[in-house]
Amino acid sequence: METLSHVSEKIKCINERTQLSYLQCSLLAFISMNRRVVVGHLKKPSKYSNKFIDIQKVFFDNDEYSFVFNVQSFLAKRAQERMSSYNKKNSSGKWALRKVRSQKKRECIHLLEDILFEDGFVVMYDTENREGIGGNVFIILPDGSVMDKVMIKRLGQTIWNYCEVEKKDTKEIILNNGVVMTLLSREITN
């Protein structure tokens, strides 16, 4: 029989994973205001927490330049570099794979944070570990206003639910200003 502390630890890990997914979706919403983001098929749903979204590409289009950042190939290349580093150290294959996968999620979040930092957004959270993020989470917007954990959760749920519905109809999901503004206007009216 599971002890109470073990159950509370499981719940804490589930909450951290879910909060990480909501933060990722919120960051994607802000990035999509000025860029197009292509999201791949969502992973098989988890019983307890929302899965991390698979970001394929980010399109940087403006008057001065046009650039497509292939997020998946960048993250895959970084993962291969880490795996080869662990293999050189004679690490266990399963251990190294788990380590690389959890680092891939965190690296994806940091990548989104860096893109938004250029636009004046600052993302802050208390703790970050292999499960996700915990404690107080907030986003400081370019105008100085603050988006707290509850607002991040609402925005994240809205984007995540949209991706969940869209995955049934299309192979890839495109987030852009029009889509995000429509979702936000629906959320505000509800």
What does 28-88 look like in DSSP terms, one character per residue? HHHHHTTSEEEE-PPPPPPSSSPPPP-EEEEEEE-SS-EEEEEHHHHHHHHHHHHHHHHHH
Where does the pLDDT of residue 99 fall: very low under 50, low under 70, confident under 90, or very high at 90 and above? confident
- pLDDT score of 190: 62
Residues with Cβ within 8 Å of 97's Cβ and at least 6 positions away in sequence, in order, are 83
Q: Which residue has the tokens 């292509």?
A: 38
Q: What are the residue boundaries of the structural domains of the chain, listed by start?
A: 4-189
> With pLDDT > 90 as the criterion, what percentage of the chain qualifies?
38
| pLDDT number for residue 175 | 92
Please return the burial class of 108, using the count of CB atoms within 10 Å of its CB with bins 0-12, 13-18 and 19+. buried
For residues 162-181, give the mean pLDDT.
84
Contact 159, 46 (CB under 8 A): no
- Across the range 107-136, mean pLDDT stands at 89
What's the pLDDT at 23? Answer: 93
SS3 3: coil
Provide the 3-class DSSP secondary structure of residue 33: coil
Q: Is 55 helix (H, G, I), strand (E, B) or coil?
A: strand
Residue the block writes with tokens 């917007």: 141
Average the pLDDT over 168-181 and give the result: 85
pLDDT digits 0-9 by tens, 4-60:
777 888 888 888 888 888 999 999 999 999 999 999 876 666 666 677 788 899 999
Q: Which residues pair with 116 in a beta bridge?
A: none
Q: What is the pLDDT of residue 109?
A: 92
